[in-house]
Structure 1
């Protein structure tokens, strides 16, 4: 067996990697549809715990659990009504930049959420790698963080960023 054959045998096909079941649209045979109840979603937690930094304005996020749950009803996601306060770890603070390290915030929240998807809302600024700042960061199948620092206290914008990042958590 040649090296190329070996690589070909070990390389997953698109069908093996695809997290969704595909079918065709009745109107367009070339248009695949994705089912949100297939493989990746069957293996992931179906509950979400929202955490917040203590200084996050609770009025801005009061209806967030309900709105997130409504958005993800197709996959049966349940969101805890209680938004718990979670202090970011000291190790996540980059004193020289005056910002939090986004990945460390997500990792900490995921540890606290144990077997749930986590969403950590941060009032302070955050960055990730080469980016000077981020609106949030998602770790697939685990959780995400959203910083409200640049979102102008806009509840709808906060909601949209949360939905976008939770979508990344679910591989969308």
Structure 2
């Protein structure tokens, strides 16, 4: 199966939907926080207090996910509704990034580089460190005024 993380923003409210271990982070006032929680066996151990978050990073089963698109007939997703404000930067990424680049390094890159350069720098750093999984990175910066997308008319039943 595949993992997924999505982000929707309207005015000052953000919504994240996800399944698996792809993540959403928010950078606000120089603080980078994770807004999604991995659907993995190891994350469940952390949540239950059996291991620490630090131990989870090097746990041998850290890549075993408990939810994914296409893994089962039914898909169970989680949702997080949170505040959003002008100036927030959001990072949507796969484990190919965060397994290779520490959270503090990600934060520093986001603070130091323009958004388009930051995407390339994050991917390059993960690849230089031997990322053996896909490295997906999307950055969304809240500095721009919202622009409405054009209305699309389509019939979901058409082929």
Both proteins in one fold, TM over 0.5: no
TM range (shorter): under 0.3
* TM-score normalized by the length of structure 1: 0.26
TM-score (norm 2): 0.28
Higher relative contact order (CA 8 A, sep 6+): 2
Where is the helix percentage greater, Structure 1 or Structure 2? Answer: 1
